Amino acid sequence: MSMSDPNADMLTRIRNANTAKHDTVDVPASKMKEAIAKILLDEGYIKNYEIIGDGVIKTIKITLKYGQDKNQKTISGIKRISKPGLRIYASCEELPKVLGGLGVAIISTNKGVMTDKQARALNVGGEVIAYVW
């Protein structure tokens, strides 16, 4: 069965695994999902990710990050913004700030997938994929 929104499926899997206090979560791989996982790693929301499999079917194994014990979650919330039925675009002046700059907005630009801070620095806008805080 094909999914209509694979990126939302990835974010939902991460949210559910984080709520259930799992150590890892597996998601089907794509270039966009790998870029989102790289941003989550660079911003310190996850410990690690690796691409498993060769050939046609590949999987991204994401290792979640917690505080001293599993009751302290690094990811408080993760939300899909732009959906297949309603795309949300923002120019470089209109890029959103998540929780006044404490969170991260993931933006898909013509220069690649990046955070809102990186997009402001490069003076580019694009599609607002998700918020993470």
Domain that holds residue 51: 6-64
Total domains, the chain: 2
How confident is the model at residue 2, as a pLDDT?
Answer: 59
- The share of the chain scoring above pLDDT 90, in percent, equals 88
User: In the chain, where does DSSP find H-type helix?
Assistant: 6-19, 31-42, 116-122
pLDDT in tens, 7-49: 999 999 999 999 999 999 999 999 999 999 999 999 999 999 9
What is the full DSSP assignment across 30-42?
A: -HHHHHHHHHHHH
| Structural domain contains residue 73 | no
Q: What is the CATH number of the domain that holds 84?
A: 3.30.1490.10
Tell me, what's the pLDDT at 1?
Answer: 47
**Quick one: tokens of 20?**
């259930």
Q: Are residues 48 and 10 in the same domain?
A: yes
How far is 64 from 23, CA to CA, in rounded Å? 6
DSSP 114: E
59 belongs to a structural domain:
yes
